[in-house]
């Protein structure tokens, strides 16, 4: 299916406008300004990059980026360890999410690490496909290992930043909440998200390719 370039660009401009408005609102009075600045290093890199390469990306990948960045902005505003989703849940539904699921800590950071793998991977796949020819298992392994390496590198960056700044800022940025295995769990969730997306995207592409072969050339082809 061919997408009208005007409609495509309009859709992306609307998403960018919504995200920018959301980001500005959450930037006005964050709970911890220094942590907010650290968290937004990712935004200051990723958003300009996405704008630069957006014509090589599908609307599906752009939409996934939008969702991830919107949630990241929320985490940066409150600090990831203090996003009050339980307060919102009780106000809306009369039940705490943590009590319902038997959780003892704030798991917003775990969710966003998982979504990093799930929602950033479509962009990685499409950019890699635009530059590198892959066959067989490499179509799965290359984007998966690319994203898995990012999950590990980000945890190293967090450790370095926490050591560099130290004090309350370092603790707020790490957001371990007393879990000595926090970095490993965060990496594992990001890797799991990436694995799910790689398998779904590649299997979907394989199914569509087989369907095209079975259907044969169109009436004006062959």
User: What are the extents of the domains in the chain?
Assistant: 5-205
User: Hey, what are 28's tokens?
Assistant: 């006005």
State pTM to two decimals: 0.84
Euclidean distance between CA atoms 222 and 44, whole angstroms: 49
pLDDT per residue, tens digit, the chain (222 aa), is: 566 778 888 999 999 999 999 999 999 999 888 888 888 888 998 899 999 999 899 999 999 999 999 999 999 999 888 899 888 998 888 888 888 888 778 888 889 999 999 999 999 999 999 988 888 889 999 999 999 988 888 777 776 766 666 555 555 555 555 566 667 788 889 999 999 999 999 999 888 888 877 776 555 544
Q: 189 burial class (0-12, 13-18, 19+ CB within 10 angstroms)?
A: buried
The separation between the first and the last C-alpha atoms of the chain, rounded to the nearest angstrom, is: 20
């Amino acid at each position: 299916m061919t997408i009208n370039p005007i409609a495509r660009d309009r859709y992306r401009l609307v998403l960018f406008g919504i995200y920018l408005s959301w980001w500005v609102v959450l930037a006005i009075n964050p709970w911890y300004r220094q942590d907010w600045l650290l968290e937004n290093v990712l935004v200051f890199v990723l958003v300009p990059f996405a704008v630069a390469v957006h014509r090589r990306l599908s609307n599906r990948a752009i939409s996934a980026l939008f969702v991830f960045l919107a949630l990241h902005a929320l985490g940066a505003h409150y600090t990831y360890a203090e996003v009050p989703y339980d307060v919102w849940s009780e106000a809306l539904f009369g039940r705490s999410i943590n009590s319902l699921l038997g959780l003892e800590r704030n798991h917003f950071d775990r969710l966003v690490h998982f979504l990093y793998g799930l929602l950033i991977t479509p962009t990685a796949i499409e950019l890699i496909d635009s530059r590198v020819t892959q066959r067989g298992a490499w179509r799965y392994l290359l984007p998966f290992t690319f994203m898995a390496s990012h999950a590990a590198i980000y945890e190293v960056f967090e450790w370095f930043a926490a050591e560099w700044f130290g004090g309350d800022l370092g603790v707020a940025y790490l957001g371990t909440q007393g879990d000595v295995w926090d970095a490993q769990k965060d990496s594992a969730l990001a890797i799991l998200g990436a694995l799910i997306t790689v398998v779904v995207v590649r299997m979907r592409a394989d199914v569509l390719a087989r369907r095209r072969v079975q259907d044969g050339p169109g009436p004006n082809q062959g």
